Amino acid sequence: MAKIKVGFDIGGSSMKIAVVKGDGCRVETVRLPDNLTDENGVTMPNAFSQFLKQTVKELHLPRGGAALALPPSQVICRLVSMPEMNREQLMMNLPYEFADFIQGAPDQYFCDYAMCERLPGDEDGSMPMMAAVAGKRQLEEYIKMFARGGVKLKKLVPQEMALIELCRARKDGPKEFCFVDLGHQQTRITVVLGDRVQATRRLAVGGRELDLAIAEELGVDAFLAGSYKMARHRGALAVAALPELCEQLAVEVLKVVNFYQFTYRASTLPGVYLVGGGAAMEPLRRAIEETAGLTLLDPAELLPTSGGTAEDGIFAAGAAMGGV
């Protein structure tokens, strides 16, 4: 019998769940109650646990170990290069690579790494790796919070590593992938090359700005406007201000992609994967293709045969596919 793996991804306004079994993947997107999360993560752990317990029951999620893709506010993950050394020396020196993030004693943080294959341009005698650091207390809180909701977390990974796991599972085709993640608070652009994140950029605009524009024209609050947007209800995607906002966002995305291709002249990006809560919005997709002139690739091609919205489940699926 094929092993079932479950992955979770907590966003600013919704939670994505991927159930991977053999060659199949089911993706679920659940709208979070208002004020349950913010840009720093979960604000009310006990309330989230109750919501999670209810969600597990309603969606008939399988029991067993699960994986969580950690939000960027809770973990720093980046490509680093260190001189050749043994594991003991590496673990002793790794915290200093994150001196700008760590506050307090290094033993309050958990560090981990994944070695990368060497590429042309890597320095001789160096060890390229994807390294990450997160606060131990925060990781323990996530484990307890999910346990109270009836879910046993056995794996916690940065979203960057979830993307890498997803890309590595693709055995054929290009080895360079560009993801444009339209989140609630911000938009993140991530380029994965093989087993490393080659470039990343954050834009201080996200789905919330679109929600506010819809809310103002329809005369509703932002939470309800977000629900209308996701359900394509009451002409939410036809409000006058939406095309201009989408075009502005598309131009910013194009600037980042152009800069990346200028910096890495060997780039062969075939297009971009639009993911996240706003990925299915037709005005945004049209602006990316027409205003920015970028080819939109189908995120579903990176997943096993899927049910649900592939754009929403990328991080959750990547966390689950790496094993738990």
Give the integer Cα–Cα distance in Å for 102 and 294: 38
Residue 2 buriedness (CB in 10 A; 0-12 / 13-18 / 19+): exposed
User: Residue 59's pLDDT band (boundaries 50, 70, 90)?
Assistant: very high
The answer on pLDDT for 1 being more than 50 is no
255's CB contacts (< 8 A; 6+ apart) are none
| Spatial contact of 196 and 164, defined as CB atoms under 8 Å apart | yes
Most confident of 51-60, 172-181, 293-302: 51-60
Average pLDDT of the segment spanning 19-28: 84
pLDDT for the residue numbered 18:
92
- Residue that has been written with the tokens 């890597």 in this structure: 122
- Report which residue type is found at 16: K
d(C-alpha 69, C-alpha 8), whole Å? 6
Extract the tokens encoding 112. 């981990």
Strand partners, 132: 77, 112
In the beta sheet, which residues pair with residue 18? Answer: 7, 27
Strand-pair category, 14-21 with 4-10: antiparallel
Yes or no: say if 133 and 102 are a contact pair by the CB < 8 Å rule.
Answer: yes
Question: Cα-atom radius of gyration of the chain, to the nearest Å?
Answer: 20
Reported as type and span, the H/E element at residue 167 is helix 159-168
Digit-coded pLDDT (tens) for 140-189 = 999 999 999 999 999 999 999 999 998 888 777 678 899 998 877 788 89
Quick one: pLDDT at residue 46? Answer: 93
The encoded tokens of residue 133 equal 């650091």
Q: Say what the pLDDT of residue 191 is.
A: 92
Query: Which two tokens mark 136?
Result: 């131990």
Tell me, yes or no, if the pTM score tops 0.75.
yes
Measured distance CA(75)–CA(78) in Å, rounded:
10
For residues 142 and 247, give the distance between their C-alpha atoms in angstroms, rounded to a whole number.
37
Nearest to 315 by CA among 27, 21, 119: 27
pLDDT for res 306: 55
Q: pLDDT tens across 191-248, in order?
A: 999 899 988 888 887 778 878 888 887 778 887 877 777 766 667 777 777 788 888 8
Write the burial class of residue 189 (CB in 10 Å: 0-12 exposed, 13-18 middle, 19+ buried): buried
| Res. 53 pLDDT band, cuts 50 70 90 | very high
Section 301-321 average pLDDT: 76
Residues 111, 96: Cα–Cα separation, whole Å: 10
pLDDT confidence band for 305 (50 / 70 / 90): low
Nearest to 278 by CA among 181, 168, 162: 181
What per-residue confidence (pLDDT) applies to 148? 96
By CB atoms closer than 10 A (0-12, 13-18, 19+), residue 288 is buried
Q: What percent of the chain has pLDDT over 90?
A: 32
